[in-house]
């Protein structure tokens, strides 16, 4: 199956404030994904600084503890029923 998503590894998210090379790498990954028509996902987003930086770089899809921690399916489904309390919805 051809890929339809490309992930930005969390290794490029952790040190973004200190490392301008990580920022350049993220922008390259975003440009590559966009040129190939892929959805680019930033993984490992754990705080507002990381999230804001991704948004400024042009990323629009995220995953990480900032939005929620792993949970059992039943708990996740219950969480979805109460979207207004979900921090990921409030950010969009």
CA 65 to chain centre: 10
Could you report how far apart the first and last alpha carbons of the chain are, in Å? 30
Q: Return d(Cα 2, Cα 50) in angstroms, integer.
A: 29
**Which residue in 43, 46, 75, 77 is the catalytic one?**
43
Annotated catalytic residue 77? no
**Which residues are tagged catalytic?**
43
């Amino acid at each position: 199956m051809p890929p339809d998503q490309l992930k930005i590894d969390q290794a490029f998210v952790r040190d973004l404030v200190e490392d301008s090379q990580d920022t350049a790498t993220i922008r390259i990954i975003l440009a590559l994904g966009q040129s190939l028509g892929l959805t680019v996902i930033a993984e490992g987003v754990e705080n507002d600084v990381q999230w804001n930086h991704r948004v400024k770089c042009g990323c629009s899809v995220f995953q990480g503890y900032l939005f929620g921690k792993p949970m059992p399916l039943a708990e996740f489904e219950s969480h979805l029923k109460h979207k207004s309390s979900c921090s990921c919805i409030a950010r969009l």
